[in-house]
Structure 1
Amino acid sequence: MRLRIRKTYWPRHALILTDTPRPDCPDCDGEGGHNYDYGDWATGEYAGTDWEPCPCWNEDRYWVLLPLPCLPRRTPAGGYSDEPPF
């Protein structure tokens, strides 16, 4: 298991310790999975891209190290500001 520290925004702001894909994995070459395109079954046209994770890595395995505060955004009274940057 190779661990790294990341910042996450969902389900809340936090610093997490997460697993990374094996860099020497013969299936994914360290990418963690594969993208593949799929089409509409009726027309055969491109319909999107899907992600298939590799078994060498579990993207749902993480541990919260430090919850971070979620600071509210400051919005002027009218909703817009003419102060730089625009």
Structure 2
Amino acid sequence: MLRLRIRYTEVPRRALILTDTPRPDCRKCDGEGGANYHYGDPETGEYAGTDWDPCTCWNEDRCWVLLPLPRRRASRDPQASNEPPF
């Protein structure tokens, strides 16, 4: 069963998307959608980074674009005001 929500994204372009969410009563991830785990360098044993292990209760790649948003225009005039033009 899908649990859908609306989100804002900028990748690959600005848009509002409809996406799946983790199951809130999942016993594996407690509704978090997965778990972070730390790992070390095999030779030195020092901290080497953190990985994300997604849970099977959802698919973080399942999403649909609802509304593409226009790109922001950078102001060409550095002295430009943000006051309305009237």
Task: Calculate the TM-score normalised by the size of structure 1.
Answer: 0.85
Aligned residues: 79
Which sections of structure 1, spanning at least 5 residues, go unmatched? 82-86
Matched, 1:68 2:57: no
Alignment-derived partner of residue 19 in structure 2: 18
- Offset, 1:75: 5.3
Alignment-derived partner of residue 28 in structure 1: 29
Q: Kindly report the root-mean-square deviation, in angstroms, between the aligned alpha carbons of the 2 structures.
A: 1.6
Alignment-derived partner of residue 39 in structure 1: 40
Q: 1:42 to 1:75 in 2, by over 3 A?
A: farther
Alignment-derived partner of residue 55 in structure 1: 56
Q: Output the CA distance in 1 between the equivalents of 2:20 and 2:76.
A: 37
Matched, 1:2 2:42: no
Task: Calculate the TM-score normalised by the size of structure 2.
Answer: 0.85
Q: Output the CA distance in 2 between the equivalents of 1:76 and 1:39.
A: 50
Q: Output the CA distance in 1 between the equivalents of 2:10 and 2:69.
A: 9
Q: Output the CA distance in 2 between the equivalents of 1:59 and 1:74.
A: 35
